[in-house]
Amino acid sequence: MKKYAKLAVAAVVAAGASLMASSAMAWIVCNPADHVCWHTHHHYAYHPEWGLVVHPDGWVWAPGETWAWHEPPQDRPGYWRGGVWIRL
């Protein structure tokens, strides 16, 4: 019986660790039309016609490319278009 209790505890700990890791994920979203990127902690369903590209956190642009970081106001859902934050 102790063996099953230990396995149950281990499963709960593993599930908690997995949940914490997934909640800490972040993404980098870029608008190639404006050459601007920003960080987000939520993976929004951006419409394809907006032309946005979602990268994993830690992504960097290639040498010679020119991009600007422009963070969203208080991580609110939306995207940058023409220097204006468009809220979803």
Query: How many Å apart are CA 77 and CA 71, to the nearest integer?
Result: 12
Q: Residue 71: pLDDT band by 50, 70, 90 thresholds?
A: confident
Max avg pLDDT among 3-7, 46-50, 73-77: 46-50
For the cut 60, the answer to whether the pLDDT of residue 51 exceeds it is yes
Q: What is the pLDDT of residue 36?
A: 95
Q: What DSSP assignment string belongs to the chain? A: -HHHHHHHHHHHHHHHHHHHHHHT--EEEEETTTTEEEEESS-----GGG--EEEETT--PPTT---EE---GGG-SEEEETTEEEE-
Q: Where are the domains of the chain?
A: 26-87
